[in-house]
């Protein structure tokens, strides 16, 4: 929108303001200047402003001058002339019955005789060109010029249009009060004393809404300059077009316009705007805030008890100043945002992070790096098995949410079913959450970590081969990598002899009996978790009957107890033997579910100090599905070279062990 520098300067004094400073402050206040044109012929500058939709009140030279006077804290030069409505016709519409009136809705009708349609002066055409307004007849051009100068104008009509009861006033609020019937009554009163029914006669209608106490001017509302606009309009019409101005008739209606009051807490101002630049821990003080609110013509009232301001929003700003944050933004705009800190101060000191917090983050990051996605489920559920240890909820909302969960795996199985239903083929998820148990009358709460992996395209031997699904060894390796990355001394092995009884802390019923591995704390030899293949009877719906799903659940606190911080690792040094080793590769025919750990323990039984290591290098099934395991046993002495007798004893002892293993 384009504005004339000269026209703005008529309302407020801009002579003492540097033009570059004017551009900068206007931009910082949200009124960005797109372009500036110099009109040497008229010794004027044309300012093209980009005005946002929330500042719709800035459309005239007067409204822009009021905004500039607010930004630069300078007064308006033009003094508003009080509205004289005392002798006007009082008119009571239904709108104002039984209400306390605060404002005057005012209408003034002027008859003009013997108007000559003269050519519009060049200076006026230039102003219309600046505003990009279409040029019609001279009277209409004057009307548009007045509107762009004062922010309000008159309506042009005649007696015939009044009789036809056509709507002339565009203002919705005034149209409700001064409708066509009311205007006709006023015009009829004029017609009794004046004759203006010829074609050259015109009726000019001036309307406004003003405060009842019109002596109390704040110079913040274009409506307060109604009389100034009226005088300017009549002068222009008579000077340019001639004509005879008849005595005007007018009417008024007392109406209620509620003041929009807002409460502004000083604490919220400080939180939103922050510190003043170059002032450590220094906010805008109360006096400065109060002065800015006065400058914005919001007329604040301070309440010391709750340290807040009560402000009155002007009628012409009611469309954009609706919330507390809007007023805070105005304060920042006037004070200028560049004088606040634009960066949050960075502190070099760091808060204490507990070992538990560090390890939980490390576990999360490790599982994410291994390709698992974290999920979060609600702890209120219905467990698969009904048990006395299940904590029940009194008066549950639904049947599916009547207990606290005793494990996380059941929720992950539900996640799996949901994803399979929506055609998600590869599911690799984990959750860190709380589980609950009941021990007599005591309820316990623990943190567990659980995971579920289903992937039928997990690996391939070569690029030419097709993908293969994940197996138990791959899944076991994922858990081993997790334990290694968090420096845990926990180990994976089969059930020990003293742990044959059912463990209530872990959902063993979800696992296949022969496809589960326990996780032990090496120090206490206690179970801290379990991993293995999911028993398919717990899957309600699946796409492939041969699919394999692997799951794990670990007590998080017990797992963290098995870890050591990186700067407290214990290293064990052993003497390296300088004597040669003897290696034996053997192939064992075993039953399908014989544990490898049990085989190693059997070989190490007795006096086997010469055994240095036992490694599994192969496992396969022949065409008859008979299981074979390839093992490499290394023998070495720390103080001598092994002789023929030592080697013969090794071979005899090894043959006996193999016979025992294959017989069992």
The pLDDT tens digits for 394-436 are 888 888 888 899 999 999 999 998 888 887 778 999 999 999 9
Element at 641 (helix H, strand E): none
Between CA 597 and CA 604 the distance in angstroms is 11
Confidence at residue 527, expressed as pLDDT on a 0 to 100 scale: 92
By residue count, the chain amounts to: 664
Instruction: Tell me what the mean pLDDT of segment 434-447 comes to.
Output: 87
Interacting residues of 136 by C-beta distance below 8 A, sequence separation 6+? none
- The enclosing H or E element of 324 equals helix 324-335
Q: Tens digits of per-residue pLDDT, 105-131? A: 888 888 888 776 678 888 888 777 765
For 339-357, what is each residue's pLDDT tens digit? 777 666 666 677 788 888 9
Choose the most confident range, by mean pLDDT, from 79-83, 376-380, 395-399, 493-497: 376-380
504 bridge partner residues: none
CATH number of 89-255: 3.50.40
Comparing CA positions, the residue from 362, 440, 376 lying closest to residue 408 is 376
* Mean pLDDT (whole number) for 41-65: 83
In this structure, are residues 150 and 8 in contact, taking their beta carbons and an 8 Å threshold? no
**Phi and psi at residue 629, in whole multiples of 5°?**
-125, 130
Confidence at residue 478, expressed as pLDDT on a 0 to 100 scale: 93
Q: Which residues of the chain form CATH 3.30.56.10?
A: 2-72, 260-339
The pLDDT of residue 530:
94
DSSP characters over 53-120: GGGTT--SHHHHHHHHHHHHT--BSSPPPPP--TTSEE---GGGTTS---EEEEEEEEEEES---PPP
3.30.70.380, 3.40.50.150, 3.40.190.10, 3.40.50.1950: CATH of 582-663: 3.30.70.380
The CATH architecture one would assign to domain 2-72 is 2-Layer Sandwich (3.30)
Task: Give the HSE-up count for residue 319: Cα atoms under 13 Å, Cβ half-sphere.
Answer: 8
CATH number of the 260-339 domain: 3.30.56.10
224: DSSP letter: G
Burial class (CB in 10 A: 0-12, 13-18, 19+), 16: exposed
Q: Summarize the confidence of residues 37-62 as an average pLDDT.
A: 82
Considering only 26-40, 469-483, 497-511, 558-572, which range has the smallest mean pLDDT? 497-511
Whole-number Å distance between alpha carbons of 629 and 326: 77
- The proportion of the chain whose per-residue pLDDT surpasses 70, expressed as a percent, equals 84
Measuring CA to CA, which residue among 156, 157, 153 is closest to residue 145?
153
Q: What SS3 class is residue 235?
A: helix
Count the neighbouring beta carbons within 10 Å of the beta carbon of residue 250: 17
CA dist 501 to 129, 426, 495, 498, Å?
96, 35, 10, 8
pLDDT of residue 499: 45
Average pLDDT over residues 493-502: 55
Confidence of residue 253 (pLDDT cuts 50, 70, 90): confident
pLDDT at 69: 86
- How confident is the model at residue 369, as a pLDDT? 94
What pLDDT score was predicted for residue 313? 87
Could you give the residue range(s) of every CATH 3.50.40 domain in the chain? 89-255
Q: What percent of the chain has pLDDT over 90?
A: 19
> Which fold is adopted by the domain 355-567?
BirA Bifunctional Protein; domain 2 (3.30.930)
Listed in order, the ranges of the chain carrying CATH 3.30.70.380 are 582-663
> Do 104 and 252 touch, CB atoms closer than 8 A?
yes
pLDDT tier at 453, thresholds 50, 70, 90: very high
pLDDT at 96: 46
Flag whether pLDDT at 273 surpasses 90.
no
Of 464 and 292, which is predicted with more confidence?
292
Would you state the pLDDT for residue 258? 78
- pLDDT for 370 equals 92
Whole-angstrom distance, CA of residue 392 vs CA of residue 166: 75
pLDDT at 482 over 90: yes
pLDDT tens, residue by residue, 190-223: 555 555 455 557 888 888 888 876 554 455 678 8
- The alpha helices in 172-265, defined as continuous H runs, are 172-177, 180-193, 226-241
Which one is predicted more confidently, 200 or 5?
A: 5
| Distance between CA atoms of residues 8 and 66, nearest Å | 9
Looking at residues 568-577, what average pLDDT do you find? 68
Q: Between residues 541 and 153, which one has the greater pLDDT?
A: 153
* pLDDT at residue 501 greater than cutoff 50: no
CA separation for the pair 381, 400 (Å, rounded):
6
- Report, as an integer, the average pLDDT of 291-315: 89
How high is the mean pLDDT of the chain?
A: 81
Average pLDDT of span 26-49: 80
Note whether 577 and 637 are within 8 A (CB).
yes
Q: Pairing between strand 582-590 and 550-555?
A: unpaired
- Confidence at residue 434, expressed as pLDDT on a 0 to 100 scale: 93
Crossing angle of the two packed helices 138-150 and 61-72, in degrees rounded to 10: 20
């Amino acid at each position: 929108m384009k504005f004339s520098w000269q026209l703005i300067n008529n309302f407020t004094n801009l002579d003492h303001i540097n033009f570059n400073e004017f551009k900068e402050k206007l931009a910082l206040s949200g009124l960005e200047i797109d372009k500036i044109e110099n009109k040497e012929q008229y010794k004027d500058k044309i300012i093209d402003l980009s005005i946002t939709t929330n500042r719709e009140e800035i459309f005239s030279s007067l409204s822009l001058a009021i905004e500039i006077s607010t930004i630069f804290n300078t007064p308006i030069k033009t003094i508003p002339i009080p509205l004289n409505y005392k002798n006007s016709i009082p008119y009571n519409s239904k709108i104002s019955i039984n209400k306390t009136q605060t404002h005057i809705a005012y209408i003034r009708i002027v008859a003009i005789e013997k108007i000559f349609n003269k050519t519009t002066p060049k200076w006026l055409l230039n102003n219309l060109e600046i505003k990009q307004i279409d040029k019609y007849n001279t009277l209409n051009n004057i009307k548009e010029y007045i509107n762009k100068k004062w922010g309000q104008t008159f309506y042009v009509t005649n007696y015939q249009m009044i009789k036809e009861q056509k709507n002339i006033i565009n203002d919705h609020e005034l149209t409700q009060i001064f409708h066509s019937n009311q205007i006709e009554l006023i015009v009829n009163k004029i017609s009794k004393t004046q004759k203006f029914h010829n074609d050259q006669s015109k009726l000019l209608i001036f309307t406004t809404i003003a405060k009842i106490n019109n002596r109390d001017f704040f110079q913040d509302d274009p409506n307060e300059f109604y009389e100034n606009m009226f005088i300017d309009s009549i002068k222009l019409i008579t000077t340019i077009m001639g004509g005879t101005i008849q005595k005007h008739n007018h009417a008024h209606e007392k109406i209620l316009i509620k003041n929009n009051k807002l409460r502004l807490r000083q604490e919220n101002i400080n939180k939103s705007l922050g510190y003043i630049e170059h002032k450590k821990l220094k906010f805008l003080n109360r006096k400065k805030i109060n002065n800015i609110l006065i400058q914005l013509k919001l007329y604040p009232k301070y309440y010391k008890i709750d340290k807040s301001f009560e402000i009155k929003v002007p009628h012409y700003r009611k469309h954009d100043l609706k919330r507390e944050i809007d007023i805070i933004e105005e304060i920042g705009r006037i004070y200028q945002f560049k004088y606040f800190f634009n960066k949050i101060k960075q502190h070099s000191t760091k808060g204490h992070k507990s070992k538990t917090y560090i390890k939980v983050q490390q576990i999360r990051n490790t599982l994410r790096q291994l390709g698992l996605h974290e999920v979060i489920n609600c702890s209120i559920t219905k467990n698969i098995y009904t048990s006395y240890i299940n904590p029940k909820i009194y008066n549950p909302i639904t049947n599916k949410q009547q207990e606290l969960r005793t494990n996380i795996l059941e929720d992950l199985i539900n996640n799996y079913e949901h994803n399979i239903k929506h055609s998600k083929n590869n599911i690799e998820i984990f959750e860190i959450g709380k589980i609950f148990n009941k021990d007599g009358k005591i309820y316990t709460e623990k943190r567990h970590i659980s995971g579920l992996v289903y992937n039928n395209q997990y690996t391939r031997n070569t690029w030419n081969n097709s993908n293969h699904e994940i197996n138990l060894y791959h899944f076991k390796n994922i858990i081993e990598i997790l334990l290694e990355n968090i420096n845990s001394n926990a180990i994976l092995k089969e059930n020990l002899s003293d742990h044959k009884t059912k463990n209530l802390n872990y959902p063993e019923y979800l696992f296949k009996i022969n496809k589960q591995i326990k996780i032990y704390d090496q120090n206490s030899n206690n179970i801290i978790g379990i991993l293995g293949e999911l028993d398919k009877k717990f899957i309600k719906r699946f796409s492939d009957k041969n699919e394999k799903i692997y799951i794990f659940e670990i007590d998080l606190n017990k797992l963290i107890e098995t870890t050591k911080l990186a700067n407290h690792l214990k290293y064990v040094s052993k003497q390296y033997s300088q004597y040669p080793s003897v290696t034996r590769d053997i192939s064992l025919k075993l039953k399908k579910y014989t544990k490898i750990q049990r085989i190693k323990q059997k070989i190490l039984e007795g006096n086997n100090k010469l055994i240095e290591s036992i490694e599994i290098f192969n496992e396969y099934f022949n065409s008859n599905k008979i299981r074979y395991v390839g093992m490499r046993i290394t023998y070495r002495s720390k103080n001598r070279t092994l002789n023929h007798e030592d080697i013969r004893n090794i071979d005899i002892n090894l043959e006996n062990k193999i016979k025992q293993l294959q017989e069992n």
